[in-house]
A and B are shown apart, each in its own frame.
Chain A
Amino acid sequence: AQSVAQPEDQVNVAEGNPLTVKCTYSVSGNPYLFWYVQYPNRGLQFLLKYITGDNLVKGSYGFEAEFNKSQTSFHLKKPSALVSDSALYFCAVREPYGAGSYQLTFGKGTKLSVIP
Chain B
Amino acid sequence: DADVTQTPRNRITKTGKRIMLECSQTKGHDRMYWYRQDPGLGLQLIYYSFDVKDINKGEISDGYSVSRQAQAKFSLSLESAIPNQTALYFCATSEGLAGATDTQYFGPGTRLTVL
**Interface check B103, CB cutoff 8 A:** yes
Interface segment, B12-20, B72-80, B106-114? B106-114
Interface residues on B, range: 20 to 34
Per-residue 0/1 for B68-95: is the Cβ within 8 Å of any A Cβ (1 yes, 0 no)? Answer: 0000000000000000000000101000
In the complex, which residue of chain A has the Cβ closest to the Cβ of B41? Answer: A108
Which residues from chain B contact A51 at a C-beta distance below 8 Å? 101
Say yes or no: A101 contacts B1, CB within 8 Å.
Answer: no
Q: How far apart sit A32 and B94, CA to CA, in the bound complex (Å)?
A: 15
Q: Decide yes or no whether A43 CB sits under 8 A from chain B.
A: yes
Closest Cβ of chain A: how far from B17's Cβ, in Å? 24
CA distance A61 to B52 in the complex (A): 35
Within 8 A of A (CB), among B44-77: 44-45, 48, 50, 56, 58-59
Contact A96 B42 (CB under 8 A): no
Given contacts A42-B108, A43-B90, A43-B106, contact A101 B43 (CB under 8 A): no
Docked pose: A8 CA to B85 CA in angstroms = 26
A9 to B96: give the CA distance in the assembly, Å.
Answer: 32
Docked pose: A70 CA to B109 CA in angstroms = 36
Q: Is A45 an interface residue (CB 8 A)?
A: yes
Partner of A49, one of B40, B103, B107, B108: B103
**How long is the Cα–Cα vector from A43 to B23 in the complex, in angstroms?**
13
Q: A95 near B: Cβ within 8 Å?
A: yes
Interface string of A29-45 (1 = CB under 8 A from B): 00010101000001111
Of B40, B58, B90, B100, which is within 8 A of A44 by CB?
A: B90
Query: Which residues of B approach A to under 8 Å, CB–CB?
Result: 1, 4, 40-45, 48, 50, 56, 58-59, 90, 92, 99-101, 103-109
Return the 4 tightest CB-CB contacts between A and B, nearest first.
Answer: A43-B106, A106-B42, A44-B106, A108-B42
